[in-house]
């Protein structure tokens, strides 16, 4: 016999194994079309919002690109070799008047950024009043702009927290770097804090550049490229000063005559080394560069003479030799500040005239490999033609 059918609430029968729809299913069936419409509207609205933001962002990018190109500071994102340059570095070569003129023709979306650039340029020039006035104008004109409005995490560069543990990292350790906490505020506020700190800063006494004494003995160096420079000898290196003057007096002042600048150094895209040059090897008097040698010890050595002078731009330092010795005839000339050399070389004097001539020498052409490394020999020989005491 067959089983009895299952009765329903109304007394009718339904096939065995079926189940009536739940309240949720009935609700969904009833309102599904409305929910679908709402979902489509929300998705469409979000899509429209992001499309508008993208469109507006492209307009701002295009406007900024046009302004940056007109100012000549677009190299940071058009030239890969200069991608490590900061916008602040680029501003150093831009005239303030050019920036102010650009504000007058720039779109409204770009003007706040140009105003911030004007303030940054004023900071570079240490024109604190102009910087603060520009920031005040920016706040007044654009109170709700991202550069002005405070937030818990404004755009900023955060220093990485260095791991000071003595444990060596494991091979292939992909530990995520940790960064210092973000500083709350705004770009304008942070620049104001920077201005206040810069105004209050006082360099430690031992960092202050020593003034060249008015009665310091000066040597004029004539070069074969029709330029010259004047070096003042410092009393803090008395023994070196004595030995140098003795060499100038010997051979009727021709000791260095014919000696070539044998090395120049300058920054590259991967290095910010200071501009500097070296001269003094007697072998460089030979026109055949294969005979040049930088390994022969100097014939004019003396003990290293410690002093408190620092490698500011223009510092002339004696080349260090082995066994704690120093040269009286071979020199490094720094054309930028180079504090890393303090304590490594004896500073014997400072260039007081013609430093720009030496900077041009440092920009001389070199071989392609040397250009990439940022150090090598100038393609053309630049020789010393005379050294005389300035009366």
* Residue 60, pLDDT above cutoff 90: no
- CATH fourth-level superfamily of 218-390: Cyclophilin-like (2.40.100.10)
pTM of the model: 0.56
pLDDT at 94: 81
Q: CB under 8 Å to 307, separation ≥6 — which residues?
A: 234, 236, 237, 346, 347
Mean pLDDT over residues 252-277, rounded?
A: 90
Q: Check: CB of residue 118 under 8 Å from CB of residue 100.
A: yes
Helix (H) / strand (E) containing 238 = helix 238-249
Could you give the CA distance from residue 389 to residue 230 in angstroms, rounded to a whole number? 9
Query: Across 295-378, where does the E strand assignment appear?
Result: 301-303, 315-320, 325-334, 346-353, 375-376
Helix (H) / strand (E) containing 56 = helix 23-71
Q: Is 126 left (phi over 0), alpha (psi -120 to 50) or beta?
A: left
Domains in the chain: boundaries: 33-157+177-202, 218-390
Q: What tens digit of pLDDT does each residue of 131-176 get?
A: 999 999 999 999 999 899 998 888 777 888 877 666 666 666 667 7
Q: Quote the distance between the C-alpha of residue 197 and its chain's center.
A: 20
Could you give the CA distance from residue 314 to residue 352 in angstroms, rounded to a whole number? 7
Q: What is the DSSP letter of 342?
A: B
Q: CB under 8 Å to 368, separation ≥6 — which residues?
A: none
pLDDT at 374: 93
Tell me the pLDDT of the chain averaged across its residues: 86
Q: What is the DSSP letter of 345?
A: B
33-157+177-202 folds as 1.25.40
């Amino acid at each position: 016999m067959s089983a009895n059918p299952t009765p329903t609430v109304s007394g009718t029968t339904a096939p065995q194994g079926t189940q009536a729809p739940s309240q949720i299913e009935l609700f969904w069936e009833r309102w599904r079309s409305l929910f679908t419409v709402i979902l489509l509207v929300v998705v469409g609205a979000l899509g429209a919002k992001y499309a508008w933001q993208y469109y507006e962002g492209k307009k701002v990018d295009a406007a900024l690109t046009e302004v940056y190109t007109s100012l000549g500071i677009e190299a940071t994102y058009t030239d890969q070799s200069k991608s490590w340059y900061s916008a602040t570095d680029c501003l150093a070569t831009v005239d303030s008047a050019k920036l102010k003129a650009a504000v007058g023709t720039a779109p409204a979306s770009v003007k706040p950024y140009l105003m911030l650039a004007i303030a940054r340029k004023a900071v570079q020039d240490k024109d604190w009043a102009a910087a603060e006035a520009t920031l005040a104008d920016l706040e007044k004109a654009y109170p709700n702009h991202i550069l002005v409005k405070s937030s818990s995490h404004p755009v900023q560069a955060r220093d990485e927290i260095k791991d000071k543990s003595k444990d060596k990292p494991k091979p292939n350790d992909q530990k995520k770097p940790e960064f210092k906490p973000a500083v709350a505020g705004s770009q304008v506020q942070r620049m104001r804090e920077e201005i206040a700190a810069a105004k209050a800063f006082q360099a430690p006494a031992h960092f202050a550049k020593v003034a060249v004494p008015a009665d310091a003995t000066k040597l004029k160096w004539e070069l074969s490229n029709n330029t010259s420079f004047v070096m003042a000898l410092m009393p803090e290196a008395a023994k070196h000063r004595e030995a140098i003057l003795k060499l100038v007096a010997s051979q009727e002042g021709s000791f260095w005559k014919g000696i070539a600048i044998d090395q120049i150094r300058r920054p590259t895209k991967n290095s910010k080394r200071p501009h500097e040059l070296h001269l003094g090897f007697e072998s460089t008097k030979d026109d055949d560069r294969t005979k040049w040698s930088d390994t022969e010890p100097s014939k004019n050595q003396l003990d290293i003479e410690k002093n408190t002078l620092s490698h500011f731009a223009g510092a002339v330092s004696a080349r260090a030799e082995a066994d704690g010795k120093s040269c009286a005839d071979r020199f490094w000339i720094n054309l930028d500040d180079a504090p890393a050399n303090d304590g490594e070389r004896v500073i014997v004097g400072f260039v007081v005239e013609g430093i720009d001539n030496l900077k041009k020498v440092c920009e001389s052409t070199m071989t392609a490999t040397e250009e990439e490394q940022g150090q090598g020999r100038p393609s053309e020989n630049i020789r010393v033609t005379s050294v005389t005491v300035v009366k």
